[in-house]
Amino acid sequence: MAKRKKEREPELARALNAVRRLVRGLRSAAEAVERELSVSAAQLFVLRELDQVPDQSVKDLAAVTMTTHSTVSQVVGQLIAKGLVTRTPDASDGRRAALRVTRPGAALVKRSPKVIQADLIEGFAALRPTERRGLANGLEKWLAASGFSHVPSRMLFDKPLLTKRKSRGK
């Protein structure tokens, strides 16, 4: 008869189950947004932020969404292509482009649900400062120990541009 493996730490099961619930909740919310609104959850997050504070730049949006300039630029480009956002030169600074939600974009925001990113931000803010630091430190260390340090941090639900797949050598 095969020997049973040593019981694992209860903290490991709790952590993995928490990650599973988080991923499942995120996936479910993202799929609902795409199904109902025909935009990604990342696009809706940017659209809502821009609707709250118009005339932001890509740099401004990157700061407020806590992600990179290139990620937000890609999402904004998708929103412009869908006619939900416009980009115009800033009247006070010609080097800066101001982004604004269009009428169809505003209508979409009005009928949209609250974005899951807002729930995560509010939930994190509800933790005590020591819990926030401990959670952030612990997650970073866990990712590093699991070999995920190299994975870039992108906006939740951002769909990367399709790239050619490397062919497998035969």
pLDDT tens track for 23-72? 899 899 889 999 999 999 999 999 999 999 999 999 999 999 988 899 89
For residue 76, pLDDT over 70 is answered with yes
Residue 151: band (very low, low, confident or very high) from pLDDT cuts 50, 70, 90:
confident
Instruction: Enter the pTM of the model.
Output: 0.78
**Distance between CA atoms of residues 44 and 50, nearest Å:** 10
Tokens of 86: 């416009």
Q: Is 99 helix (H, G, I), strand (E, B) or coil?
A: strand
Which pLDDT value is given to residue 82? Answer: 96
Which residues does 127 contact at the CB level (< 8 Å), separation at least 6? 135
Tokens of 98: 């101001």
Which pLDDT value is given to residue 3? Answer: 53
Q: Within 13 Å of residue 49, how many CA atoms lie on the same side as its CB?
A: 25
Which pLDDT value is given to residue 1? Answer: 53
